[in-house]
């Protein structure tokens, strides 16, 4: 597995196409935000999808921190009774990068965004833009 540029929220690059993968199926009992964390002893890559045959079209989030012994994390809103796939991968598109790791799934973070807000959502993401905005150097804020 791997994903293309701009197909997974949280990552703009294309990663994982050359490394070995481990895929976990997870079916939550409750609809809520879930925090999925990967602590690896190699340069890892973590992403969550709802369809392994359509990674780019169903990616809910990805994280690829540069370097070894970094924590990758995805905060995702998951529906009860729906099976999702958590993919533990290496960053590389050309070689097999893998090793030991610990994967945990726990309580997630609920984003806090007011209508038209911009900037940090309180969970490591960015608030969606819901009204007309002005942007300067990729920083957008609501028009008053």
pLDDT tens-digit readout, 70-119: 999 999 999 999 999 999 999 998 899 999 999 999 999 888 776 556 66
SS3 72: strand
pLDDT value at residue 104: 96
pLDDT in tens, 19-58: 989 999 999 999 999 999 999 999 999 999 999 999 999 9
What confidence score (pLDDT) does residue 140 get? Answer: 54
Query: Dihedrals φ, ψ of 75, to 5°?
Result: -105, 115
144 or 12: which carries more pLDDT confidence?
12
Separation between Cα atoms, residue 46 and residue 62, nearest integer Å: 6
């Amino acid at each position: 597995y791997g994903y293309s540029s701009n197909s997974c929220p949280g990552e703009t690059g294309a990663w994982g196409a050359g490394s070995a993968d481990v895929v976990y199926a997870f079916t939550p009992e409750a609809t809520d935000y879930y925090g999925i964390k990967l602590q690896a002893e190699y340069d890892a890559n973590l992403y969550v999808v709802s369809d392994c045959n359509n990674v780019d079209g169903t990616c809910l989030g990805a994280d690829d921190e540069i370097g070894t012994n970094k924590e990758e994390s995805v905060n995702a809103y998951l529906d009860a009774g729906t099976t999702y796939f958590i993919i533990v991968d290496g960053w590389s598109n050309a070689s097999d990068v893998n090793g030991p790791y610990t994967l945990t799934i726990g309580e997630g973070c609920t984003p806090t965004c007011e209508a038209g807000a911009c900037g940090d959502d309180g969970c490591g993401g960015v608030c969606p833009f819901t009204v007309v905005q002005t942007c300067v150097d990729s920083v957008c804020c609501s028009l008053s």
